[in-house]
Amino acid sequence: MNFGEKLYELRKEKNLSQEEVAEKLNVTRQTVSKWETNQSTPDFDKILPLCELFGISTEELLIGKKVEEKECESVKEEEPEKIPTKQEIRRKSAEVVSTAVFIYIAAVALLIVAIPVLKMNPMVVTALFLCMIGWATAKIIKHYMSIPKFQETEKEKQETEIVKSIEGIIDAICVAVYFIVSFITMAWHITWVIFIINGLLCQVVKLFFMLKEEKDEK
């Protein structure tokens, strides 16, 4: 909508004639007619009187958009994203970790069963196995990288230390088992699966403590 059309619409809304508008602005009717047909534009000193006459802002008159609407849109754009609570994050973490644990177990089961039982191509099975492991790991990494920082309570700090200690023990045991089994069987091409099981056990420990915290809060 151009300026002339906007001016015509405003005049009609106020039920004013061109003569009445001209009288209030101390101009001729022909001048108002030229404004509405875009043959000319009002002088600068007539803009504010026009706005006062129609009860609008200069922006609405010149651009044709209400300031209030623009401000509302600005508020919507600048509205901060809702920050999830600790409880919501804990539930989401439990969901992500439990899903990842299931994928890990399914991947290991596929590797154990597919080749000797289902007689599938080893290369295909290995590719599927790595894709599943990568998918589960990516889900965990993406989730934990998106979690906002919260001030931990003393209880949460203690539980974090316990989880780290348990994970450290699991890591040490898995490394020892890896080398022992590898040297005994000389199956270095397959014993690396132990490290996948190591990651699975660590995630199970985290999931256990998450569910424990959820139960304590309830």
pLDDT in tens, 96-146: 888 888 888 888 888 788 878 888 888 888 889 889 888 988 888 888 787
pLDDT of residue 163: 84
- Average pLDDT over the chain reads 79
Largest CA distance in the chain: 107
Q: How far apart are CA 168 and CA 172, in angstroms?
A: 6
Is the distance from CB of 18 to CB of 77 less than 8 angstroms? no
Question: For residue 73, is pLDDT > 70?
Answer: no
Q: How far apart are CA 110 and CA 104, in angstroms?
A: 10
| Domain layout of the chain by residue ranges | 3-78, 86-217
Kindly state the tokens that stand for 85.
Answer: 């609570």
Architecture of the CATH domain 3-78: Orthogonal Bundle (1.10)
